[in-house]
Structure 1
């Protein structure tokens, strides 16, 4: 059945009320180098806030007649929406949160695509320049608050989780909220929504009026993980690498819930950075947690990490099962250590400048068939680079599962091939098989999962 749609003229809410002629022309440009298609895709995703889907391609196709147009006004700017999803409106008025998110999309797309030109001598392959770009985007979005004590907990986990797992993630958020901590997630459903929802109750009980529920996403994933209704600050980073760096630079600790390949990608990114020799002494609390029924899941994750990266990697996190209060206490204690360290080193609370991130974690990885087949999955490299290349493998599978471009590539050329050292490939294959068996590749109720990858023998 065709979903009800509506037409509307929408005024700005929150940010970016005026645009230059150059910015308007780029947003209207429907060619390959223009921003129209990107803006339309992200705007449609935001209009589906609260709708649980994990197929960006299907979302785009089901709203093929949707359009968004810029309407210059004497006192600023409005957006004309054509055939927009009706559930984004109440009594003919767009929900305020969705209106805020819509103009956050506009703000971030415009800024991300103009700031590199304004930064003197900006180089897209330079680590410091890429970190500065992440900083500028976050500052422009209002995420960085200079006078605020460290309180941001990054919560990672699957969008495809059971009801019991969701309830547990919500109780974790509740315990964090009771301790005055705020939440950053990938902004979608499941383990991204649960901690935020729980934190709202904890904050209400403690009369915390400035609780933050930050959703950090990127254009390739937002259609598959539309913002959940709790998000009160939405940021769209240019790509997955800058999104992951933004999490670690502005967050003060990380909690990981059970998830699938996207969560594995995040874990490997984080561990790869923490394993860099320059980061050996930087405090950064990391807790893996889940219900008692999840204990085998984390045994699997821990075994994979120890096999692939060694016991040193496992020393970077703590596993706490079925104890929300203890998780929150550990995070509160760890963040206090972060605060003490940064004060002593005169590093900013709001942005972790001291963290060393190798360029291999920052340069965008394009998950196509050639690049996936050529991944350097071998032991003859430093351990943090093994983590970086394993991260790329999972990133490619995420693209093949939920991103429009990845899904199209799989449809055209078949599954991605992944090859490498058997000591890395075999554990990788075993974990992927468990993700499939546990239904962690797709949302519950989706059609049966068809793998977008194929493990092949021999090295690349």
Structure 2
């Protein structure tokens, strides 16, 4: 168990959520029983730990067991009283501005989710209803900017990456920024920070005011991957599936850098959607890239897609090695194609309504031992559905690696068992073993990685 300096402070809202209703205050004040309060406390603690090199939710929660946050409604707005808060979030007694922004963004999203769920207009039993809910969450966060030409590039990749891979992601972000493109990531460290950092410098060179560094996360991940300080728009979605849908609805193109199981999960989710017959002709630029030293990893991931999902899946993305300029030029050209396509069909630039997402991709996957063992990983399953099932397998491994609930399940019941056809299990096992050997499962320097899974054929 670690111990860190703490402080007690009071901070007022600015810009995100400046007033609460009596019902919302009641939800947040029931510290002993309220799930809304518990969720906000966990997210607040993660945000206050921005910059700390800890990627284990259980470790963070145990390190600050006596941390409390009390919400007060005043005539002038909402005030948070933080007790035994991480001292690194303050400078000379004042909270760092970006930390305060993200703290109240978290309060905004959690309060909105808690208030809206159960409302008559919210329908989570249908695919369209779930998409509408994602739209409303993003609109409430003021993320959607109608009329702006497609310029939001989503960057996916690992938080546990080498220095060279991190520097490469910065170089790509810099090239994107020089072309006046904005960046969206999962908001944490590593690849989630590098492109944003590169883009900030490029935007400054281009004298671009209002550059966007959008971070999309969810409660189970934010505690393990605190937002990086460059994020200037933070949105906390209710679960991983709505977070993934937000990425593909808001983003106009996606760049995938080296990573681990979390990156593979996102990649498979995306391929599963793009392989759906209704999306065959829909332009959506996807680039798989990394520095020269990452070429074997990228090839292995490319081969895994070919071995499990086939050549059609491989045709839905480009692989570019060690060439940030080419990556940015190809992405920029792809975004122009996206803009033309949507303009011809009168589709919105700010939210991809035309993209077909099956309901099976939208409902939360609970990685219990039973659900993990019952995943259908077989060639008898259509390619887009197999991609979704493989995505669930990787989601479970992410949970067992870094999420508090998943870690506790592994401690109680042992490793997950993943069953399937040999033709699927063999390349899956090889890919996971490579992730372990390359230290892509956890941040380097910690304890030796102990797999939370067992592949069974």
Q: TM-score range by the shorter chain?
A: over 0.9
CA displacement 1:307-342 (0-9 Å, x = unmatched): 110000000000000000000000000000000000
Q: Distance in 1 between matches of 2:207 and 2:444?
A: 36
| Distance in 1 separating the partners of 2:262 and 2:370 | 21
Match of 1:82 in 2: 83
Write the distance in 1 (CA, Å) between the matches of 2:392 and 2:34: 26
CA contact (8 A) 2:28 2:34 kept: no
SS of residue in 2 equivalent to 1:81? strand
Match runs of 1:95-174 below 5 Å:
95-120=96-121, 122-174=122-174
Which residue does the alignment assign to 1:245? 245
User: How far is the alpha carbon of 1:31 from its aligned partner?
Assistant: 5.6
Q: Helix, strand or coil: the match of 1:16?
A: coil
Q: Which residue is 1:445 aligned to?
A: 445
Does residue 202 (structure 1) correspond to residue 202 (structure 2)? The answer is yes
Tell me whether 378-387 or 321-330 shows the greater mean CA deviation. 378-387
Helix, strand or coil at the partner of 2:333: helix
Q: Tell me, what secondary structure is at the counterpart of 1:346? A: coil
Q: What's the counterpart of residue 341 of structure 1?
A: 341
Alignment gaps of 5+ in structure 1: none
TM-score (norm 1): 0.98
Work out the CA distance in 2 between the residues paired with 1:40 and 1:207. 38
Deviation of the 1:32 alpha carbon? 5.8
- Higher mean alpha-carbon deviation, 239-248 vs 145-154, is at 145-154
Which residue does the alignment assign to 1:35?
A: 36
**Shift, 1:147, TM fit:** 2.6
State the secondary structure of the residue aligned to 1:113.
helix
Q: List 4+ stretches of structure 1 deviating above 6 A.
A: none
Matches within 5 A, 1:183-202: 183-202=183-202
1:10 paired residue number: 11
2:431 maps to 1:394: no
Query: 1:334-371 CA deviation, whole Å, 9 max, x = no partner?
Result: 00000000000000000000000001110000011111
Following TM superposition, by how much is the alpha carbon of 1:421 offset from its aligned partner in structure 2, in angstroms?
1.2
Instruction: Check conservation: 1:156, 1:185, Cα contact below 8 A.
Output: yes
Relative distance call for 1:53 and 1:130 in structure 2 (3 A) is: same
Work out the CA distance in 2 between the residues paired with 1:41 and 1:421: 39
TM, length-normalised to structure 2? 0.98
Q: Distance in 2 between matches of 1:431 and 1:447?
A: 21
The equivalent residue for 2:264 is 264
- Aligned with 2:117: secondary structure? helix
The structural deviation recorded for 1:97 is 0.6
Return closer, same or farther for 1:33/1:90 CA change in 2, 3 Å cut-off: closer
Shift of residue 113, structure 1, vs aligned partner: 2.0
Partner SS, residue 110 of structure 2: helix
User: What does residue range 43-442 of structure 1 map to in structure 2 within 5 Å?
Assistant: 43-120=44-121, 122-442=122-442
Deviates more, 1:110-119 or 1:148-157: 110-119
Q: How many angstroms apart in 2 are the aligned matches of 1:221 and 1:32?
A: 22
Deviates more, 1:188-197 or 1:44-53: 44-53
Secondary structure at the aligned position of 1:118 is classed as coil
CA distance in 2, matches of 1:261, 1:7: 37
Change (3 A) 1:119 1:318: farther
My pick for the range that moved more, 53-62 or 28-37, is 28-37
Deviations 1:371-393 (A, max 9, x none): 11111111222110000000000
- How many residues align structurally? 456
Cα RMSD (Å) of the superposition?
1.0
Question: Aligned partners of 1:26, 1:116: CA distance in 2, in Å?
Answer: 13
Deviations 1:92-131 (A, max 9, x none): 00001100100000000011122233352x3322100000
Q: Is contact 1:116–1:133 with CA below 8 Å preserved after alignment?
A: no
3-state SS in 2 of match to 1:305: helix
- Whole-Å separation in 1 of the counterparts to 2:120 and 2:132: 9
Secondary structure of residue in 2 paired with 1:283: coil
User: Contact 2:150/2:350 (CA < 8 Å) preserved in 1?
Assistant: yes
Distance 1:33 1:274 in 2: 39
CA distance in 1, matches of 2:40, 2:409: 22
CA distance in 2, matches of 1:36, 1:232: 24
Aligned position for 1:21: 22
1:172-230 Cα shifts (integer Å, max 9, x gaps): 00000000001000000001100000000110111111110001000000011100011
Deviations 1:17-54 (A, max 9, x none): 11111111112234666311111000000101122221
